[in-house]
Structure 1
Amino acid sequence: MRKKTVQMIISNSLMIGLWASAFPGIRAGLEGYTPEHLALFRLLIGSMALLLFAVLTKMRWPDIKDIPVIFLLGFLGFALYHILLNIGEKTVSAGVASLLVTTAPIFSAMFSRLFFGEHFGIAKWIGSMISLLGVSLIAFGAGDYTYSMKGTLFILLAAFSESIYFVFQPRYIKKYGFIPFVTFTIWGGTLPMLVFLPGLGEEVINASMSATLSIFYLGLLPTVVPYFALAYVTSVVGASEATLSLYVTPALTLIISWMWIGEIPAFISLLGGVVTVGGVCFTYLKSNQMKWYRNALRHK
């Protein structure tokens, strides 16, 4: 197996697994923190860890001309995304939230096509539709009809905001490398969040240990590692294809939520997870088959 293939498998596994765990982690953190303070605390933890890493590795700083764009992408991909998602999860279960966020690949594909003319073939569209059917089954099986339309809208807006970050990052990943770029954008997303700093200390004192530990986990792992992994995958295959594997996230979120916060999935939700994974497999297997076929014709 080629080295790049192994790296892709590891990157996708980290991305899916850690992001899947983030949704129940947010629900646990919201037991002791407001959505705004949870987002700020999470980003502060991630930023401080990355600052130490940057100093130890003598990471290069971004060019002055790129700083406004980096700050904007950081705001959209981290600050705005996390605030909107946290607000939405006040009334939406972790499983349903994760499936709503899977609309991000669709938004990413549309933006990639609109701004960069990136090809999104028929196999990917069919695979996406299969996966959307799967996440719809997950939603139906969740049986959580009490969540508000307002919460749903917040999460869809979060997915929309994050998709812009995904689509416009490749140019800067190519220039700086995926680890420095993600580091810069996390810092860029953290700075505007400092407006919510008043009151955070009081919440840290009053919150339960489990809620605080959940945020430390979110800050050190799901906030940082999956973005590194996604940035690497994006640098290899492009934004629209890189985000396709996120369709697997809701299936794994259901299992983790069951184990962590006691959200028990119905059988139809588990069936939806199988369909979701099937859609992703169809997309990649069919796409690779088509690439093999085109290469075979080219070498005839």
Structure 2
Amino acid sequence: MLTDMSGTYRRGVTETVAMVDRRALAAVGVTLVLWASAFVSIRSAVAFYSPGALALGRLLAGSAALVVILLLRGERLPPRAAWPGIVVSGVLWFGVYMVALNWGEQEVDAGTAAMLVNIGPIVIALLSGFLLKEGFPRPLLIGLAVSFGGALLVGYSMSGAGSSSVLGVVLCVVAAVSYAIAIVAQKPALAHASALQVTTFGCVIGAVICLPFAGQLIDQVGSAPLPATLNLLYLGVFPTALAFTTWAYALARTTAGKLGATTYVVPAMVVLMSWAFLAEVPGWLTLAGGALCLVGVAISRRRPS
């Protein structure tokens, strides 16, 4: 009888864990699709909005959507223990990262930006291995190496000769390191607060950090065409409010290193979306790089033997 009960209990625990894993996987899937779509929307908006104004407009739209949802759900302020991680992620990810990336992409070509920003998952794995005690599983390290190689191929195939500046390179590296540190800081906060709380107040803090660009945003809203402004609002509501919340939900249920590795799916998705929506036909080297990114992510998700 005790053996049967023990077996039933173990099966129940296994089924529960599997259900949580599926939900986390679905959540990160939503995040990656929306983040990939953001690159297509930014292409439209960045021609009419400066880097700071675009970041502020996106964060204001995201904050408004998140605060409404937070109030409707009846959630309150996060507990004190969650605030250090929320503040760090708000300043670095929602603030510094978005401005640095927007600015950097004006100084370097898209391929170079993609290569530089994709050092982020490697930094996440190193920081989380040391600071969060997640260790360095062999599948994760191999998967990161394969995916980074794919990202390099995608970036190289998209790079233009002589179109990069030292400032642009520095800004892209700052963006990558900023979001890596922010994710590692965000992980402990999720042990004390919900994904919605962490995302909402992080987004609000990022908007406050970007308030010095308010004058630019006001001027540019008046002159930008409607499609560019609609893309700005889309960036705020979907790739920011929704995608960052689903990311936090998944981060609370898996390791930062493994989740960071999944972002290597984004370059492959961007290639396909650019092909579908912008009629930008990728070359064979780009397709090969995208395939390598996907293979690397699959390897990183394997359990150590």
TM > 0.5: yes
Is residue 59 of structure 2 the alignment partner of residue 61 of structure 1?
A: no
Q: Please state whether the residue corresponding to 1:197 is helix, strand or coil.
A: helix
AA at the equivalent of 1:9: L
Moved more, 191-200 or 262-271: 262-271
Between the aligned partners of 1:225 and 1:215, the Cα distance in structure 2 is: 14
Q: Is the 8 A contact 1:37 1:196 kept in 2?
A: yes
Distance 1:281 1:63 in 2: 36
Per the alignment, residue 181 of structure 1 pairs with 198
The amino acid across from 1:112 in the alignment is: S
Structure 1 residues 16-95: aligned runs within 5 Å: 16-63=32-79, 67=83, 69-94=85-110
Hey, what's the Cα distance between the residues in 1 that align with 2:108 and 2:281?
Answer: 14
Residues 39 and 128 of structure 1, relative CA distance in 2, 3 Å threshold: same
Give the letter for the 2:95 counterpart.
Answer: A
Q: Secondary structure at the match of 1:240?
A: helix
TM-score (norm 2): 0.88
**CA-CA distance at 1:260 after TM superposition:** 3.7
Q: 1:156 to 1:262 in 2, by over 3 A?
A: farther
Moved more, 190-199 or 97-106: 97-106
User: By how many angstroms is 1:84 displaced?
Assistant: 0.3
1:23 touches 1:94 (CA, 8 Å); kept in 2? no
Q: Secondary structure at the match of 2:190?
A: helix
Aligned partner of 1:147 among 158, 161, 164: 164
SS in 2 for 1:236: coil
**Which residue number in structure 1 is paired with residue 292 of structure 2?**
275
Name which of 236, 239, 263 aligns with 2:256.
Answer: 239
Deviations 1:94-149 (A, max 9, x none): 45534432221111111112323221212211111111111111122114232334
TM normalised by structure 1 equals 0.89
For residues 273 and 150 of structure 2, what CA distance do their matches in structure 1 show?
18
Deviation sequence 1:270-292 (CA, Å, 0-9, x none): 111011111111222xx3262xx
Supply the distance in 2 between the matched residues of 1:89 and 1:133 (Cα, whole angstroms): 21
Residues 5-44 of structure 1: CA deviation (Å, up to 9, x unaligned): 3312311211211111112222211111100100000000
Q: CA RMSD in A?
A: 2.0
Q: Deviation at 1:52?
A: 1.1
SS at match of 1:224: helix
Displacement of 1:263 in angstroms is: 4.1
| CA distance, structure 2, for counterparts of residue 118 and residue 246 of structure 1 | 18
Taking the TM superposition and a 5 Å limit, the aligned residue runs for 1:184-263 are 184-263=201-280
The amino acid of 1:84's aligned partner reads A
Counterparts of 1:4 and 1:98, CA distance in 2: 31
The Cα offsets for residues 240-264 of structure 1, whole Å up to 9 and x where unpaired, read as 1111100111111112233444544
Q: 1:226, CA displacement in angstroms?
A: 2.1
**Deviation string, structure 1 residues 53-96 (Cα, Å, up to 9, x no partner):** 12211211134575465333201011100000000111344455
Q: What SS does the aligned partner of 1:184 have?
A: helix
Residue 138 of structure 1 pairs with residue 154 of structure 2:
yes
Q: 1:28, 1:118 → 2: CA distance?
A: 39
| 1:5 partner letter | D
Change (3 A) 1:94 1:210: farther
Q: Which moves more between the two structures, 251-260 or 100-109?
A: 251-260
Take 2:115 and 2:24, find their aligned partners in 1: how far apart are those partners?
A: 23
Q: Which amino acid aligns with 1:162?
A: Y
Q: Which amino acid aligns with 2:142?
A: I
Work out whether 1:103 is the aligned partner of 2:119: yes
Contact 2:34–2:243, Cα closer than 8 Å, also in 1: yes
**Identity %, equivalent residues:** 31
Q: For the residues of structure 2 that align with 1:149 and 1:262, how far apart are their CA atoms?
A: 31
Partner amino acid for 2:153? Answer: L
Q: Is residue 20–residue 98 contact of structure 1 (8 Å, CA) maintained in 2?
A: no
Map Cα deviations across residues 177-203 of structure 1 (whole Å, 9 max, x no partner).
111111111111111211211132221
Q: Equivalents in 1 of 2:248, 2:124: separation in Å?
A: 14
- Who is 2:145 aligned against? 129
1:288 and 2:303 are equivalent in the alignment:
yes
In structure 2, the CA distance between the partners of 1:154 and 1:242, relative to structure 1 (3 Å rule), is: same
Alpha-carbon distance between aligned partners in 1 of 2:213 and 2:201, rounded to the nearest angstrom: 20
Whether contact under 8 Å (2:40, 2:270) holds in the other structure is: yes
Kindly tell me the number of residue pairs found equivalent between the two proteins.
288
In structure 2, the CA distance between the partners of 1:143 and 1:254, relative to structure 1 (3 Å rule), is: same
